[in-house]
Amino acid sequence: MSEKLGRQDDFVKPAPARGDEQVWTTDLTSSGLRPGTETNEPSWPCGRNTYMIRAMPGDLYYGDNLTVMRRHIAPESIDLIYLDPPFNSDRKYNWTHKASQSQHDAYRDTWTWDDRAKHTFAELVGEVPGGSRVPPELSALMLTLKKILHPGRKATLAYLSMMAIRLVEMRRVLRQTGALYIHCDPTESHYLKIVLDTIFGADKFENEIIWQRTPAKGLSTKHLPNNHDVILGYRKGEDRTWNSDAMFVPYDLDALDEKTLKKYQARDADGRQYQLTSLLNPNDDRPNLTYEFLGVTRVWRWERPRMQEAYDQGLVVQPGPGKVPRFKRYLDEQRGKPLCDVWTDIPPINSQAKEDTGYDTQKPLPLLKRILALATKPGELVLDPFCGCGTTIQVAQEMGRQWIGIDVAIRAVDVIKDRLDEKWKPRVWTEYGEPTSHDEAEHLADTNHYDFQWWAVRMMGGQPPKGEKKKGGDGGKDGEIIVRHEASGTLRRIIISVKGGQNLTPDFVRALDTTVRHEQADYGILVTMKEPSSGMRDVASDCGRVPWSELKDGKLGQRIRIVTVAEILAGVVKLPGKNETPRSQSSPPPPEARVGETLHLPFPTISKAKQRRGKALLPSDAPPPAEKRAKKKS
Ligand SMILES: C[S@@+](CC[C@H](N)C(=O)[O-])C[C@H]1O[C@@H](n2cnc3c(N)ncnc32)[C@H](O)[C@@H]1O
């Protein structure tokens, strides 16, 4: 366990039971949150919201960051927070799977003054009993913002409420020496700055960095083009980590700007560029620095021995007889150009670039490298609570910083895992938030059907289908798996259809059969949350068997099969061959299942997850809520 985060026992305390649930929570004294506080925010996607699990470096959370921070991140444990939240752009963002060019919803940046927003606002203004304790100034600010924004700009009020409640939590988890950098754009940067001034204190404001995102395109005719983002920096305490060495941009010797070229136009015999600079001391009254050198008496910058040493090294030159000697300053020995708060030298990601993951709104690696170089030291802990496809995480890992990432989009977390696996072996991440039990899978199916489908397809070792995949499915095809039939060496294609709902009917089986035929695939697998009816199994059986003589097991030969989530979680699903689904950003490593063998699931079942986390991390061996309730009843 990391020393940085303190001892587990210090942090996780059982709170008084609420209803029939045991709620575990942090010692939240610094935020004023009371143990066991429930919020109106979207819950942990798979419903694992009755446990307090301690966040550790290398943890990747699929979930809402408010819930994750409240339940899992210790106060004053984080050195740097970089967040790149939605900007209130009223847009939908996608992730384009690079290998297949299939497009998937990533997240929506549209805000409405709905019940959830109203509840968050009520919490911010202290109207929710037992809700977060927020600074009174923030409550006052939110009430004022409501007066200004409520009539015509409710979306902005909803957005700012969402951000404010999270920023309170971010300040709580920051160390006294920590800092926060929030990436936004001119749509909301001015409002966010007031919110941040109120939460952190205006005296804790460090910088407003302007990042020129793209060159101007000249498409805008009525006003100037918006081509910059804004990054606001705040520190928590009086002092914070800062590396002044990182405040220089190294010169690119092959692409020097005109001014630098002009300054360093002289070249040595070996081609090194230099300029001659003054060796005179601006202070006239320095007797110990006043002496004659190369026939010239002046007040020098250095005492004689140092001057002589520099001369012997060829660094002091006299431009002509009797002329004042000067210092030879080599360009390649300079720290670089001093960095200012307007950054124009970091281009956006080119779609052909290796780092491009296809995730809309991905930020370039050099941008994060610069921020982490300025504001963290090796070994420090960086949190990205809106981590998208994981740019911060990759940079933190590369730079020897520890990290924790959170994103509410299951696809984003998938991209990050692939991104990290491509570069680091053994695996550097531990994932939380995806279902590891039947109850959790059911909760995900009930609350986010689209993510449930995605999860189930991946659990089968499959990939989402090629082409546009819209929310709500497309004719029952939610994914596919390619298997190699070992005996014949040929490939077979399996179409996966996922049904999370209660109302299962044989029609789903028929629809999948039609899709399999239409797509000229070999098999169909219907994944169901609930146990299928005998009618469904009969229809599946009537859909026929594959004519492959090698397949002895009648079950395997069945063309349309029904697999339950319970079977997947128990790791007993068999595939008719070795999974050859291309490793991609959407799929886990192909399971090494062979004909007739148990499929080894790419993700751990709950018992494996518990083992992996170890006792120290899963603070309770208490059964999950449903079991617990059942025990109580009995
Ligand atoms: C602008 S993107 C971040 C991009 C990231 N900086 C990168 O380089 O990939 C914003 C991300 O915030 C996530 N997000 C939105 N609301 C969230 C929430 N409440 N909790 C966690 N993540 C959230 C979205 O799913 C999206 O991936």
Q: What is the pLDDT of residues 416-433, one digit of tens each?
A: 999 999 999 999 999 888
Say whether both 507 and 417 belong to one domain: no
Say whether both 242 and 289 belong to one domain: no
Protein residues with CB under 6 Å of any ligand 1 atom: 64-65, 84-86, 106-107, 359, 361-363, 386, 388-389, 391, 406-409, 412
Say whether both 79 and 187 belong to one domain: yes
The H or E element that residue 273 is part of is strand 273-277
More confident residue, 52 or 440: 440
Residue 163 lies inside a defined structural domain of this protein = yes
pTM of the model: 0.79
Looking at residue 519, which CATH number applies to its domain?
3.40.1350
Residue 160 lies inside a defined structural domain of this protein = yes
Say whether both 241 and 102 belong to one domain: yes
Residue 470 lies inside a defined structural domain of this protein = yes
Residue 619 lies inside a defined structural domain of this protein = no
What number does the ligand 1 atom closest to the CA of 363 have? 8
Nearest to 83 by CA among 387, 348, 364, 407: 387
For residue 388, how far is its CA from the centre of ligand 1 (angstroms)? 4
Q: Which pLDDT does position 585 carry in this prediction?
A: 40
Say whether both 382 and 318 belong to one domain: no
**Span of 27-41, 86-100, 271-285 with lowest mean pLDDT:** 27-41
Residue 11 lies inside a defined structural domain of this protein = no
Beta strands in 337-488 (DSSP E): 337-338, 342-343, 381-384, 402-407, 430-432, 479-484
pLDDT in tens, 456-512: 998 888 887 665 455 444 567 888 888 887 767 778 888 999 998 878 899 999 999
Say whether both 83 and 138 belong to one domain: yes
**Distance from C-alpha of 84 to C-alpha of 479, rounded to nearest angstrom:** 30
- State how far Cα 445 lies from the chain centre: 23
* Average pLDDT value for the chain: 80
Nearest to 44 by CA among 67, 27, 24: 67
Say if residue 273's pLDDT is above 70: yes
Say whether both 317 and 461 belong to one domain: no
For residue 387, how far is its CA from the centre of ligand 1 (angstroms)? 5
Nearest to 37 by CA among 191, 172, 140: 172
Q: Which of 29-38, 60-69, 219-228, 397-406 has the highest mean pLDDT?
A: 397-406
Distances, alpha carbon 72 to alpha carbons 5, 77, 186, in Å:
12, 11, 32
Say whether both 170 and 297 belong to one domain: no
Choose the final residue of a domain: 535, 561, 582. 582
Per-residue pLDDT band at 61 (split at 50, 70, 90):
very high
Say whether both 305 and 406 belong to one domain: no
Say whether both 271 and 222 belong to one domain: no
Q: Which pLDDT does position 411 carry in this prediction?
A: 87
Give 401: exposed, middle or buried? Use CB within 10 Å, 0-12, 13-18, 19+.
Answer: buried
Choose the final residue of a domain: 399, 432, 465. 432
Give nearest CA residue, ligand 1 atom 5: 388
More confident residue, 11 or 579: 579
Q: Which pLDDT does position 472 carry in this prediction?
A: 46
Count of domains observed in the chain: 3
Q: Which pLDDT does position 315 carry in this prediction?
A: 95
Angle between helices 115-124 and 154-173 (to 10 degrees): 50
DSSP 244: G
Say whether both 360 and 499 belong to one domain: no
Give nearest CA residue, ligand 1 atom 2: 388
Residue 26 lies inside a defined structural domain of this protein = no
Distances, alpha carbon 81 to alpha carbons 78, 173, 177, 195, 404, in Å:
7, 9, 12, 16, 10
Say if residue 384's pLDDT is above 50: yes
Residue 361 lies inside a defined structural domain of this protein = yes
Say whether both 325 and 349 belong to one domain: no
pLDDT in tens, 140-155: 999 999 999 988 899 9
Q: Are 88 and 159 in contact (CB under 8 A)?
A: yes
Q: How many helices (H) and strands (E) does the chain have?
A: 19, 26
What number does the ligand 1 atom closest to the CA of 87 have? 1
**Distance from C-alpha of 45 to C-alpha of 80, rounded to nearest angstrom:** 26
Q: Which of 181-185, 332-336, 476-480 has the highest mean pLDDT?
A: 181-185
Residue with tokens 């109302």, as numbered in its chain: 503
Which residues pair with residue 362 across a beta bridge?
Answer: none
**Distance from C-alpha of 299 to C-alpha of 278, rounded to nearest angstrom:** 11
What is the domain range of residue 426? 51-246+341-432
Q: Tell me what the mean pLDDT of segment 597-622 comes to.
A: 28
Choose the final residue of a domain: 268, 300, 333. 333
More confident residue, 427 or 554: 427
Residue 14 lies inside a defined structural domain of this protein = no
Per-residue pLDDT band at 107 (split at 50, 70, 90):
confident
pLDDT in tens, 67-83: 888 878 888 889 999 99
Q: Which pLDDT does position 523 carry in this prediction?
A: 86
Looking at residue 138, which CATH number applies to its domain?
3.40.50.150
Per-residue pLDDT band at 571 (split at 50, 70, 90):
confident
For residue 389, how far is its CA from the centre of ligand 1 (angstroms)? 8
